[in-house]
């Protein structure tokens, strides 16, 4: 395995693969219904990377330093036969971790078991509140909290653990759910992570005043239960870790807005149609599907990757300004979180 570094000396370690641009939720911070409505045109099947193409790219990327792959969407469980892709990726030599982020609505007990048997290691499940009226308003399709809690139980029963629970916090919408969420998952063995509302894409109406800073979240929790910081598990970990002093487990905060972590970012993002983005807030994607379908060799595709990563100097969150937030950035539904 070769390790490649970018223009800021950051190694390539993580690849996030979007397997579809479709989702059965219409979360207001990601796929607002007024944009992604009935008339919205999603990618046709022919433009999606096939499972064989995804696996080929994964092998090329792992050979150049990628250790962890996370499957995302859209909603990855919307992609038919996703467990077949999991089986193929799990067989990539040198890959250390294979995970998935899902909204959980389609994660039945049987599906969780099939995914685990196929080689999936862990899941991250999104849940923004324990209050049905709040959660329903945020997912905008009427999915209940109970359905997602069932999915978490299904994942645990299948051994897709440790399970992470992601909560996007938006001012005036669900910050009142922070302590309820923390209390519910304390002692569960699951890791609850609070995510600052981000200006990904251009359709979610992001405003700085809607952000609940990570410091504010931690102080609210500290007032209820003493917590202390914990060292990162690995270089480039996005979540700042905290643990309860009484031994009831840990939480995380992802503070891309108020405490950027661009300096240790090791991630690439591959869209469902094969475009490679070097930043979550990227404007331009690089067409790797074209390379595959033109018949380029693995060495040629690998050289393109190495060249792209070598000049990467993205640090959007560190230089965020009134000008940059209005750039036509790629939507989160195209490249996952």
- Domain layout of the chain by residue ranges: 14-335
pLDDT digit string, tens, across residues 133-161: 999 999 999 999 999 999 999 999 999 99
What is the rounded CA–CA span in Å between residue 303 and residue 117?
34
Longest pairwise C-alpha distance within the chain: 59
Confidence (pLDDT) at 218: 97
Q: What tokens does 1 get?
A: 């395995």
In this prediction the pTM is: 0.94
Check residue 325 and give its pLDDT. 53
Who contacts 293 (Cβ-Cβ below 8 Å, separation ≥6)? none
Angle, alpha carbons 89-90-91 (nearest 5°): 85
Q: Can you list the residues of the chain whose pLDDT is less than 70? A: 199-206, 316, 318-330, 332, 337
Q: What does the pLDDT look like over 25-58, one tens digit per residue?
A: 998 888 889 889 999 999 999 999 999 999 999 9
What pLDDT is recorded for position 271? 95
Phi first, then psi: what are they for 330, rounded to 5°? -65, 140
Tell me how far the alpha carbon of residue 212 is from its chain's centroid.
19
How high is the pLDDT of residue 259? 83
With CA atoms as reference, report the closest residue to 285 among 326, 331, 316: 331
φ, ψ dihedrals at 311, nearest 5°: -100, 0
The CATH class that applies to domain 14-335 reads alpha beta
Identify which of 134, 149, 175, 101 has the alpha carbon closest to the alpha carbon of residue 27: 134
**Tokens linked to 125:** 């499940």
What span, in angstroms and rounded, lies between the C-alpha atoms of 151 and 165?
Answer: 11
């Amino acid at each position: 395995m070769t390790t490649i570094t970018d223009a800021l000396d950051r190694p390539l370690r993580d690849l996030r693969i979007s397997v579809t641009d479709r989702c059965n939720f219409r979360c207001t911070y990601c796929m607002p219904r007024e944009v992604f409505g009935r008339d919205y045109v999603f990618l046709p099947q022919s433009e999606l990377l096939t499972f064989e193409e995804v696996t080929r790219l994964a092998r090329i990327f792992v050979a150049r330093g990628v250790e962890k792959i996370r499957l995302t969407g859209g909603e990855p469980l919307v992609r038919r036969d996703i467990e077949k892709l999991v089986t193929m990726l799990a067989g990539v030599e040198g890959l250390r971790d294979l995970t998935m982020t899902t909204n959980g609505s389609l994660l039945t007990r049987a599906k969780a078991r099939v995914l685990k048997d196929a080689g999936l290691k862990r899941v991250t499940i999104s849940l923004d509140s324990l209050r049905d009226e709040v959660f329903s308003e945020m997912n905008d399709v009427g999915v209940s909290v109970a359905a997602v809690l069932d999915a978490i139980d299904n994942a645990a029963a299948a051994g897709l653990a440790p399970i992470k629970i992601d909560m996007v916090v938006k001012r005036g919408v669900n910050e009142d759910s922070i302590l309820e969420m923390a209390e519910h998952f304390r002692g569960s063995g699951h890791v609850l992570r609070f995510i600052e509302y981000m200006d990904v894409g251009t359709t979610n109406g992001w405003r700085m005043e809607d952000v609940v800073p990570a410091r504010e979240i931690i102080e609210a929790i500290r007032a209820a239960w003493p917590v202390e910081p914990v060292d990162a598990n690995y270089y480039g970990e996005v979540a700042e870790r905290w643990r309860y002093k009484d031994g009831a487990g840990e939480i995380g905060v992802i503070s891309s807005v108020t405490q950027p972590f661009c300096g240790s970012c090791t991630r690439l993002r591959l869209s469902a149609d094969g475009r490679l983005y070097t930043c979550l807030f990227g404007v331009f994607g690089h067409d790797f599907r074209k390379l595959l379908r033109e018949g380029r060799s693995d060495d040629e595709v690998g050289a393109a990757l190495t060249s792209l990563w070598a000049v990467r100097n993205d640090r959007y969150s560190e230089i965020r300004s009134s000008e940059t937030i209005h750039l036509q950035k790629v939507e989160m539904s195209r490249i996952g979180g």
